[in-house]
């Protein structure tokens, strides 16, 4: 039998006025963000699709599941949006990586900027060719142009395999608000598979945004702004800490760090690891991102590991993601086996 009661106050301190007041619980910047910004109206639909996908793989295929984020978020300047701030990302890293995850037996939730590159269709969708150039007319019928047919057959087979095994789920976003709400919903659902979940956060998410409270309803009029447009943006709260600590604490989390100045890349990657306490940052430079990346991990002897394409690989169009993904999967396997 316990000889104490938690309901009894400690007599010496029960009325001790010298103990400062316990501060009222503060809302974090992330919580404030969700309190003051409305979720996209379609979110429940996405939630149910993602739930079905995760439950299917949990109970039937038993595959690991990766959330790949891809492409850039926009920052609208008006509620009825005519103008918005955007960034350079085409979604190449995300779409290409998703294909290699699928080839390596993962189920992929592909959270992407709508109309950016998609796995498989990326080979044909954003080229300078018109899609009709891939076709030819033979005996009054349309056929695939023989120049492209062999390669297209390989892509088609991989695409069908992903589709028939229900291994690829496409979820779009456009604005940073849509991205953040959708990321939260998917992350929380991924807790269903615990350590088998992998986050591969390659999207280029805006660092600054215009809060809904300051957003004009209608198109900004040039006459009213005196010929100048001054935009006052707030910082987007750092959601990675919420993801690591609350939304998906059992998952392996891989974030990307993009810089343009080589001399600060490693330092910025290490700062991100220290700040968010996740497992891997992949650093890349805007100028060389298709040829080299660096893996930075906490407390590893070899804590900077560069992955580079050599000249032969570059001339034979090897994609750097074909080297990145097997390395990421190794880190995930160690995570699942508790070797990290
Ligand atoms: O989409 P893309 O292939 O043109 O570019 C990929 C990338 C550079 C956006 C990605 O590799 C990345 O670094 N994303 C994170 C960016 C950041 O928030 O630092």
CATH number at residue 309: 3.40.50.10300
* Residue 15 CA, ligand 1 centroid: distance in Å: 56
Distance CA 34, CA 39 (A): 8
Q: Does 33 fall in a domain?
A: yes
133 within some domain: no
- Structure confidence by residue, pLDDT tens digits, 185-206: 999 999 999 999 999 999 999 9
CA atoms within 13 A on the CB side of 159: 14
Residue 94 lies in a domain: yes
Mean pLDDT across 253-270:
98
pLDDT given for residue 20 in this prediction: 60
pLDDT average, residue stretch 135-152: 97
CB-CB contact of 59 with 192 (8 Å): no
C-alpha 287 to ligand 1 mean position (Å):
11
Q: Considering only CA atoms, which of 143, 137, 99, 114 is closest in space to residue 322?
A: 99
Q: If you take atom 5 of ligand 1, which residue's CA is the nearest one?
A: 89
Which pLDDT value is given to residue 134?
Answer: 95
pLDDT in tens, 314-333: 999 999 999 999 999 999 99
Residue 11: per-residue pLDDT: 58
Inside any domain, residue 135: no
pLDDT of residue 129: 84
Total number of domains constituting the chain? 1
Q: Mean pLDDT throughout 51-61? A: 98
Distance 2 CA to ligand 1 centre (A): 57
Q: Which of 16-20, 151-155, 223-227 has the highest mean pLDDT?
A: 151-155
Which of 69, 201, 205, 284 should be mutated for ligand 1, with most atoms under 8 A from CB? 284
In-domain check, residue 273: yes
Probe residue for ligand 1, chosen from 70, 89, 203 as the CB with the greatest number of ligand atoms within 8 Å = 89
- Cα 95 to Cα 73, 134, 205, 231, 316, distances in angstroms: 15, 21, 16, 32, 20
Identify the pLDDT of residue 127: 83
CA 167 remoteness from chain centre = 18
pLDDT tens digits, one per residue of 157-185: 999 999 999 999 999 999 999 999 999 99
Binned at pLDDT 50, 70 and 90, residue 1 comes out as low
Task: Look at ligand 1, atom 18, and give the residue with the nearest C-alpha.
Answer: 204
Residue 294, ligand 1, Cβ within 6 A: no
Q: Is residue 6 part of a domain?
A: no
Residue 303 has pLDDT above 90, yes or no: no
User: Taking a C-beta distance cutoff of 8 angstroms, is the pair 46, 169 a contact?
Assistant: no
pLDDT above 70 (res 24):
no
Domain residue limits at 223: 29-124+166-336
**How far does residue 116's CA lie from ligand 1's centre (Å)?**
13
């Amino acid at each position: 039998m316990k000889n104490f009661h938690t309901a009894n106050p400690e007599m010496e301190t029960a009325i001790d006025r010298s103990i400062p007041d316990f501060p009222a619980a503060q809302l974090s910047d992330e919580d404030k963000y969700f309190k003051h910004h409305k979720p996209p109206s379609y979110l429940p639909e996405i939630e149910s699709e993602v739930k079905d996908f995760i439950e299917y793989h949990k109970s039937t295929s038993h595959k690991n599941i990766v959330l790949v984020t891809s492409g850039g978020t926009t920052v609208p300047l008006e509620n009825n949006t005519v103008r918005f701030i955007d960034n350079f990302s085409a979604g190449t890293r995300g779409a290409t990586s998703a294909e290699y995850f699928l080839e390596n037996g993962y189920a992929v939730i592909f959270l992407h900027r709508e109309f950016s590159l998609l796995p498989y269709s990326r080979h044909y969708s954003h080229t300078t060719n018109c899609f009709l150039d891939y076709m030819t007319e033979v005996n009054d019928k349309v056929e695939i142009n023989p120049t492209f047919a062999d390669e297209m057959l390989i892509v088609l087979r991989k695409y069908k395999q992903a589709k028939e095994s229900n291994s690829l789920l496409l979820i779009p976003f456009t604005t940073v608000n849509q991205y953040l709400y959708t990321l939260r919903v998917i992350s929380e659902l991924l807790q269903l598979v615990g350590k088998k979940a992998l986050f591969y956060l390659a999207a280029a998410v805006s660092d600054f945004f215009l809060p809904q409270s300051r957003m004009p309803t209608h198109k900004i009029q040039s006459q009213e702004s005196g010929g100048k447009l001054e935009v006052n943006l707030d910082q987007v709260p750092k959601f990675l800490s919420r993801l690591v600590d609350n939304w998906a604490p059992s998952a392996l989390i891989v974030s990307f760090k993009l810089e343009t100045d080589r001399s600060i890349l490693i330092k910025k990657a290490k700062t991100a690891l220290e700040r968010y306490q996740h497992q891997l940052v992949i650093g890349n430079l805007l100028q060389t991102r298709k040829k080299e990346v660096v893996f930075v991990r906490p407390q590893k002897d070899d804590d900077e590991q560069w992955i580079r394409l050599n000249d032969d690989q570059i001339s034979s169009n090897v994609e750097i993601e074909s080297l990145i993904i097997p390395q990421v999967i190794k880190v995930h396997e160690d995570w699942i086996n508790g070797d990290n």
